[in-house]
Amino acid sequence: MEIYRHKTQYYETDQMGIVHHSNYIRWFEEARTDFLEKLGMGYDRMEAEGIISPVLSVSCQYKTMTYFGETVEIAIVLTKYNGIRLELEYTVSNADTGEVRAVGTTKHCFLDRDGRILSLKRSSPGYHRMLEEYKE
């Protein structure tokens, strides 16, 4: 499990006086970028190698509201990986109190430059092993 921290910004709030719900989807991406980078699979490195990893689906359940100025922690867990598809789980919590703000998931595949689905297991055994080892 990796932890990523994000300080909420004024431009993320809405007139309900809380952080707009669409931002959590962006925080998932921030945490995922950070996670893959630490794993040695940074987006920039993968894109340079011609591998893109689009989002197949996203879900988020909002538990409590996040306010401006709060720091949230996004804990990320690699729950599924089979050489072709990757699934991640996210838990967003207030960094001070630990109160859970939201939980969510994203699913991903890997494509080459021509948009064909890649089996990382075959095309990039190094990345494959990294992800295999991280599976919980």
Q: Which residues are catalytic?
A: 14
Binding residues vs its own copies (CB under 8 A): 9-11, 13-18, 20-22, 25-26, 29-30, 33, 42-44, 47, 52, 54-62, 65, 68-69
By beta-carbon proximity to its own copies, the closer residue of 29 and 132 is 29
> Taking the complex as a whole, how short is the minimal distance between the CB of residue 9 and its own copies, in angstroms?
6
> Taking the complex as a whole, how short is the minimal distance between the CB of residue 118 and its own copies, in angstroms?
15
Per-residue 3-state assignment (H helix, E strand, C coil) for 79-93: EEECCCCEEEEEEEE
Neighbours of 56 (CB within 10 A): 12
By beta-carbon proximity to its own copies, the closer residue of 68 and 134 is 68
By beta-carbon proximity to its own copies, the closer residue of 37 and 133 is 37
- Cβ proximity of 28 and 104 under 8 Å: yes
| Residue 55 three-state SS | strand
Please tell me the distance from the alpha carbon of residue 131 to that of residue 124, in angstroms, as a whole number.
11
